[in-house]
Structure 1
């Protein structure tokens, strides 16, 4: 028998080439090539045009992902195109040498250890068996779990994988039918609790290290971890609670839950005795968590403390050799590493200086008042999120180049701008706009939330964000990160 065989199952099929993602990618790449070779913009040199064309081409692959290709394809296009444009490899790959990326890698492995060991499930079902079953009680458990898991890992992906699976088990145990209001209420709030609360502090989500990495060096020095929490902590707590309250009254069924506390206790007992791996993960994560507030005393940065925790998991084999390659998404790591260097590339290639007049006009218009700036920039970012499916990071990288002007001329602190990025990045009107939605739906397999209820929840989120901007403006003025009257 021939030991070689032909398997074309995974090879792209002819009909796929005429699908919408392929067509859109092809057309956008043509736009990029047009900019790169025909140089249509006056005042932008050859390098600037070529880099702009490269960015558009990479965005085409990142946005539409034809054939389900990984982010790495766009990353390679970006890397090769920028180097061919005249930038050095050290300039293009500068994001890989930043501390933000090296905070990200151990943090993702921490989340993987939390999931692999089963500690995340144990914590969740322990809390569930401790309450009297009710919709309000379950929602409070999600809030506690979302906040607690955010302290243990900034990986939103890991958190919602754990909480979505658990919420499905809870909804099934409660005999809530598919597409019912109660089922949507339980699962949507579990999903949201994995995303919303942790955004309020630097290490609670990937937004902290990634967005800070976008900032120019002089802005990074003043956008400290402590100030991130001071600016965003209370607003994100308000957003989370307001979202939960409104969703509860919007989706609350009239009938009570048909489940007992004993049923939750039985689900907890099914997990068995606590394992050695769970103990190691718990002790390690708590030690790292307790060390983070004492960075100055220890003489270590956040990423150094996080990195020290990783060898413990490797030495104790909580994370095995095979997990290094599969435990976290290196595709996402490569994407973040490249995109973190995008602001400097935009500046070095001359795109930032060329776009300065347009950017200046927009800034002048928005800075008529503090409220105009906050709501105006948020709505612009919301609109742009419909074409930037990379959680808004591509747009955020470009807008980060304007933070020195906003700070020096209008006294708007860069953490305010980053906060608006987090608001836009969390938007979830469509599944293509928010990759965490299709990932969660792949777990639920059409037995989760009702899509209509999810759209209603997205509208609630957008409305709560605008309300937050209005309510917290005096607070941001009081702590000195922006004035009530910018030009006053």
Structure 2
């Protein structure tokens, strides 16, 4: 049985490839879809490291010329994920976390959090969620917000309770990590400016339907639904995936004594704090002056090395950072291939045929659900938005009145943040939180399915009421 599980990605790929090719798909597209499904199976069972699963999939596709028969074009496609800006923003976020750790600033901030909120684990969960919620309207990159700003602080808390990936992760670490990613998915849908693909989606909607969705209109529809979900998320995680350590009344006293032992804040801590504030300022206001968020992160990373907050040796030996970079880059390339091979267009045509004759409101609800669930095939919310939103709007246009189509468009765009919860690669910060090692691949997929169902249920109810 173990051998079957270990080779299941290859078995699934071969068996699927041997099936008759569906009408409307080229042989290359069908073989590509077979490999893609095999890669997804590999990410679930993880017979080898996840990064190697993605790298193997991209390599096989490129060698077989399934995306493009030209070897040069195949090579360019296979390496395209490594030029994705989110990939390098994630990489820089790992280095920020290291800077917080090496200077002691992360420990100091964590101790302050514990001192005031550490009487119970649930309180810490709400502290993480509230930090994300406060920043979300001002930071269109949830990777910068969650992975670059909040994760480095949270990562310092579990070791203080002797909770590590290898020793008692469920004590407190796994719960805090899950709250971190679950909260940012909710806040990403709460505000138009809380997720970069939200802004891309609004532009696509305007071009497709003529509807312009303002910040206020988005908030007026989404806040009534997202605020209750936001407030419930830490508690739901506490119930569904509970930490074994519930209370720690002695923690605030211990934190206060540890702060005293650390002494006054050091020069390097102040420098790290300055770099963090510089990155935060550039992430919030950078676009106004033409500074890209990824380049801002790389600038700060360079300054950290030049001023010896971290060393170049720290950068090149950070296995977790390089592992996530390879993993996510290959998955971004695999997801882009779905569009290049015509698979998404084929799926769209099938769906449009099946929806003919149904009531428009039912069609709208089904399309919101389909749009959400199809994110299992994507490693990038941006890629999902670019590939599927125009397709779904094209399917819906002849099936419903213009006003309903405009309302459906908002529901589709607003679901982009929430769908980031379903897999370890579904949104930019997910690989960071997953890469900490506190939550196993199988457990993450299970929790993603549960919380994904809750989040999708919220969107389904909102769609039914709004449309």
* TM-score higher than 0.5: yes
Shift of 1:187: 5.4
Distance 1:112 1:72 in 2: 24
Question: Using a 3 Å threshold, how does the CA distance of structure 1 residues 426 and 235 change in structure 2: closer, same or farther?
Answer: farther
Distance 1:338 1:252 in 2: 33
Normalised by the length of structure 1, the TM-score is: 0.66
1:51 maps to what in 2?
32
Shift of 1:270: 4.5
Residues 1:368 and 2:361 aligned together: yes
Asked whether the 8 Å contact 2:129–2:179 carries over to 1, the reply is: yes
Residues 1:267 and 2:258 aligned together: yes
Compare 155-164 and 310-319 and name the one that shifted more.
Answer: 155-164
Work out which of the residue numbers 324, 327, 334 in structure 2 matches 1:332. 324
1:421 maps to what in 2?
419
1:357 maps to what in 2?
349
2:52 maps to what in 1?
72
Map of 1:107-186 to 2, 5 A cutoff?
Answer: 107-130=93-116, 133=119, 137-144=123-130, 153-154=144-145, 156=147, 163=154, 166-167=157-158, 169-170=160-161
Normalised by the length of structure 2, the TM-score is: 0.69
How many residues of Structure 1 are paired with residues of Structure 2 in the alignment? Answer: 422
Shift of 1:284: 0.9
Asked whether the 8 Å contact 2:24–2:346 carries over to 1, the reply is: yes
Shift of 1:473: 4.8
Work out which of the residue numbers 86, 103, 113 in structure 2 matches 1:100. 86
Shift of 1:286: 0.5
CA deviations 1:75-102 (Å, max 9, x no partner) are 2332342342251222343333343334
Q: Secondary structure at the match of 1:393?
A: coil
CA deviations 1:153-184 (Å, max 9, x no partner) are 45659966863662464599xxxxx99xxx86
2:458 maps to what in 1?
468
Question: Using a 3 Å threshold, how does the CA distance of structure 1 residues 93 and 367 change in structure 2: closer, same or farther?
Answer: farther
Question: Using a 3 Å threshold, how does the CA distance of structure 1 residues 362 and 61 change in structure 2: closer, same or farther?
Answer: same
Question: Using a 3 Å threshold, how does the CA distance of structure 1 residues 372 and 470 change in structure 2: closer, same or farther?
Answer: closer
1:85 maps to what in 2?
65
Asked whether the 8 Å contact 2:25–2:343 carries over to 1, the reply is: yes
CA deviations 1:453-480 (Å, max 9, x no partner) are x999889845752563267559xx9xxx
Asked whether the 8 Å contact 2:95–2:301 carries over to 1, the reply is: yes
Shift of 1:265: 0.9
1:287 maps to what in 2?
278
Residues 1:323 and 2:330 aligned together: no
Shift of 1:315: 0.8
CA deviations 1:254-300 (Å, max 9, x no partner) are x9754264222123334454343322221011112123332343122
Runs (5+) with no aligned partner, structure 1: 1-16, 173-177, 443-450, 478-483
Work out which of the residue numbers 235, 239, 246 in structure 1 matches 2:229. 239
Shift of 1:24: 1.6
Question: Using a 3 Å threshold, how does the CA distance of structure 1 residues 51 and 163 change in structure 2: closer, same or farther?
Answer: same
Q: Which has the higher contact order (CA 8 A, sep 6+)?
A: 2
Indicate the RMSD between aligned Cα atoms, in angstroms.
5.1
1:19 maps to what in 2?
3
Asked whether the 8 Å contact 2:422–2:449 carries over to 1, the reply is: no
CA deviations 1:167-213 (Å, max 9, x no partner) are 464599xxxxx99xxx86x65652333223333249x9xx957x789
Asked whether the 8 Å contact 1:48–1:349 carries over to 2, the reply is: yes
Distance 1:33 1:51 in 2: 9
Q: Secondary structure at the match of 1:439?
A: coil
Distance 1:438 1:285 in 2: 20
Distance 1:212 1:352 in 2: 21
